[in-house]
């Protein structure tokens, strides 16, 4: 079957999403170091101990057609300021998740996340012809849950004891989604939010 997730670069006003490369190791560590993001126990942000496995897993999933990991580049500086990816892709059913998203602390609470989500959702619905795009986050990650809801995604439910974390703790995962039929309305909301954010910037 022809590959569904093909490597592509997506570009917005101030961000560029390009496919992750193994050579991005040091840049990712520098970006994560802004705010020491790996200290947040409920997120998957690479640290010096985990970055090699983080990259290897992402690229292996890409090779299997299950994911397409990106680095987030700030166009003004050319620096990598975070990462995100399509993941858990099911080509047969045209479903995909947007996950593993994080940004340097300096770029949180800016228009960066809105721009990235708009680019990823636009490509998923307009080019990949996805029928649904999912978002999943840890039950305890309140900031992420609020941010996903602000995008216009609806909560589908909570997967109890969904996975076992490295320290043996059980993780409850909150699942959200945007359906193909909802995308036109969600798109309008995102474009309106971007216009407001850019007028304030």
What is the distance between the alpha carbons of residues 144 and 101, in angstroms, rounded to a whole number? 9
Q: Quick one: pLDDT at residue 41?
A: 58
Contact yes or no for 152/115 (Cβ under 8 A):
no
Which of 128, 123, 103 shows the shortest CA–CA distance to 113? 103
Per-residue tens of pLDDT for the chain, all 201 residues: 468 999 999 999 999 999 999 999 999 999 999 867 676 656 678 899 999 999 999 999 999 999 999 999 999 999 999 999 999 999 999 999 999 999 999 888 889 999 999 999 999 999 999 999 999 999 999 988 998 999 999 999 999 999 998 889 999 999 999 999 999 999 999 999 999 887 554
pTM of the model: 0.92
Structure token pair of residue 137: 């986050």
Q: Quick one: pLDDT at residue 167?
A: 86
User: What's the CATH code, domain 10-200?
Assistant: 3.40.630.30
């Amino acid at each position: 079957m022809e590959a569904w997730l093909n490597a592509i670069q997506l570009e917005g006003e101030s961000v560029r999403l390009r496919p992750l490369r193994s050579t991005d190791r040091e840049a990712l560590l520098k970006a994560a170091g802004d705010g020491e993001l790996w200290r947040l126990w409920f997120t998957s942000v690479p640290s010096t101990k985990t970055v090699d496995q983080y990259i290897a897993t992402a690229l292996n999933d890409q090779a299997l057609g299950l994911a397409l990991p990106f680095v987030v580049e700030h166009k003004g500086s050319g620096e990598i300021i975070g990462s995100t990816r399509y993941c858990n892709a099911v080509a047969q059913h045209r479903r995909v998740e947007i996950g593993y998203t994080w940004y340097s602390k300096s770029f949180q609470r800016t228009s960066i996340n809105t721009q990235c989500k708009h680019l990823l959702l636009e490509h998923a619905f307009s080019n990949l012809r996805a029928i649904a795009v999912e978002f999943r986050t840890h039950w305890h990650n309140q900031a992420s849950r609020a941010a996903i809801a602000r995008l216009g995604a609806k909560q589908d439910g909570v997967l109890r004891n969904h996975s076992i974390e490295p320290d043996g703790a059980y993780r409850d995962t909150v699942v959200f989604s945007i359906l193909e039929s909802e995308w036109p309305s969600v798109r309008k909301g995102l474009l309106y939010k971007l216009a407001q954010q850019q007028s304030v910037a």
